[in-house]
Structure 1
Amino acid sequence: MKTLDQRRAHHAWETVTSAAKHQDSDDFKRAVMSLPAQIVGSGLGPALSFLLAKGKTTHLLQALSDWVLDKHPNPTSTRPAPAADALLQQFKEADTVFLRRATSETLAYLQWLKRFAEAELPEASN
């Protein structure tokens, strides 16, 4: 059985290698690198809203929703990835326990995404 951190790493690796094949890998990498600071500074909901408004990082939003809402609590899930805004939609009815858990798990998952994005994606052009 894999540890939680190993499962995070595996999901993050698949997300980054998939992002590398897409045209928006620069936007993906930029968003991954800046998102933890945005979450700490503004909160998870506002940070995700900002990404959704930009409209260029749906792959990242979908990966975060998939991990936090499905693959983290259900390691053997084979459900398809949820919509890009699924995690943000949960905030409408979520209690503070969910919000804290989702924020903590998103930050832990982003550690792996950042490591792999730095290693696998080309330098983002400014």
Structure 2
Amino acid sequence: MAKVGAQQVALHRAKVAFDFAKQGKESDKYVSYVRRLPSLIQTNGLGAALAFVFAKAKFGAEKRGADAEAYGLLYTHVRQWLEEHSILREILRKAYDQLKENREDVNGPDRLTEAIVSLDPRSYRLATQEVLSFLQWLRRFAEGLNPRGAEMVDGEDGERMTSEA
């Protein structure tokens, strides 16, 4: 029975990832960032990786370039997956409720990063595994839908994706 449930979760991940990848398919930068985010998570942790992507997205800036737009789309896709579709929805809702006690606005785009870093260790590991599983599908579809996806080499756009940047 658990196997059927796991299969359904994997199929749902694939469907949502396909829909999201269609939104970013024309952007080589988006595909590149999707490809590199899993290693950034594994190297620095989910919280640091999301903080990096959030910072690069420059939410709230009047003018955002192509890099910021691609990072913003990626951050939004990860956030939407976790908040609306993943098995962690309830855990995040509880984290958001706790954030409400400490700050006025918990509806800003930074709420996901703040909620993730406030999770207990078990939930943090679950969130990390869930995001990595989702990104496997997103990467496959982003590469497949982008005309240059399979030909692209990580880092060919000249920007390094590290938390030190």
Structure 1 and Structure 2 fold alike (TM over 0.5)? yes
The answer for the alignment partner of 2:43 in structure 1 is: 41
The answer for the alignment partner of 2:143 in structure 1 is: 118
For 1:106, give the aligned amino acid: V
Summarize the alignment of residues 1-126 of structure 1 with structure 2, pairs less than 5 Å apart.
3-20=8-25, 25-55=27-57, 56=68, 57-73=71-87, 84-123=109-148, 126=157
Secondary structure in 1 matching 2:10: helix
Q: Which runs of 4+ in 1 moved over 6 A?
A: none
Change (3 A) 1:33 1:92: closer
CA shift for structure 1 position 122? 3.1
Question: How many residue pairs are counted as aligned between the two chains?
Answer: 117
Provide the TM-score with structure 1 as the length reference.
0.81
> Which runs of no fewer than 5 residues in structure 1 stay unpaired?
76-81
Change (3 A) 1:111 1:92: closer
Q: Distance in 1 between matches of 2:113 and 2:147?
A: 29
Provide the TM-score with structure 2 as the length reference.
0.63
Q: Distance in 1 between matches of 2:109 and 2:11?
A: 24
For 2:116, give the aligned amino acid: F
Change (3 A) 1:8 1:83: farther
Is the 1:64–1:87 contact (alpha carbons within 8 Å) kept by the matching residues of 2?
A: no
Identical counterparts, % of pairs: 31
Change (3 A) 1:61 1:98: same
RMSD: 2.3
Secondary structure in 1 matching 2:147: coil
For 1:38, give the aligned amino acid: L
Q: Distance in 1 between matches of 2:136 and 2:54?
A: 21
Is the 1:91–1:99 contact (alpha carbons within 8 Å) kept by the matching residues of 2?
A: yes
Q: Distance in 2 between matches of 1:111 and 1:83?
A: 27
Which structure has the larger Rg? 2
